[in-house]
Amino acid sequence: MNFLDAVPAIRRLETSRDDLLAIDVVGHVSAADGENLFGLMEAAYALHPHIDVLVRLVDHDGVDWANIAEDTLKQGTAHAMEHVGRCATIGEPDWTADAQHVLRDAPSIEFKHFETEDEASAWQWLGARPTEKQQGRG
């Protein structure tokens, strides 16, 4: 293992909204990264019963869904249906149709995909902005 193997693929972004979970997904998402994502979401739900989510994909290279515990996936899906209002995705691939299919029992979740060059529109759609520490990235 080299030092790059330890870099997490899921990176939380600071925003102007406390009830917005914004993350970068960089490269390949391992099962451990997926578990970390669900942990970040649970922490957000503990602070805010209703949240929005922004996902910025950077050189995305797939997810090890098969290696994430089935109970974690089921619980994560159920909790997302209870707590998430809007979800903006930025970059490729556009997986909003897949997410809508998985979360078909949660028609209240509004998904919207934005191209990388339209990132500012995604932030505007969610009524937020990255904090100073995050500007200039992506």
pLDDT digits (tens, 9 = 90+) for 107-132: 688 999 999 999 999 999 999 999 96
Q: Mapping DSSP to helix (H, G, I), strand (E, B) and coil, where does residue 22 land?
A: strand
**Domain map of the chain by residue range?**
3-125
pLDDT digits (tens, 9 = 90+) for 10-21: 999 999 999 999
48 versus 6: the higher-pLDDT residue is 48
φ, ψ of residue 96 to 5 degrees: the values are -65, -35
φ, ψ of residue 112 to 5 degrees: the values are -150, 130
φ, ψ of residue 102 to 5 degrees: the values are -65, -40
* Residue carrying structure tokens 């950077």: 58
pLDDT digits (tens, 9 = 90+) for 87-104: 999 999 998 888 877 777
The pTM for the full model equals: 0.87
| CA 109 to centroid of chain Cα atoms | 13
Q: If you ran DSSP here, which 8-state letter would residue 65 be given? A: G
CATH of domain 3-125: 3.30.750.24
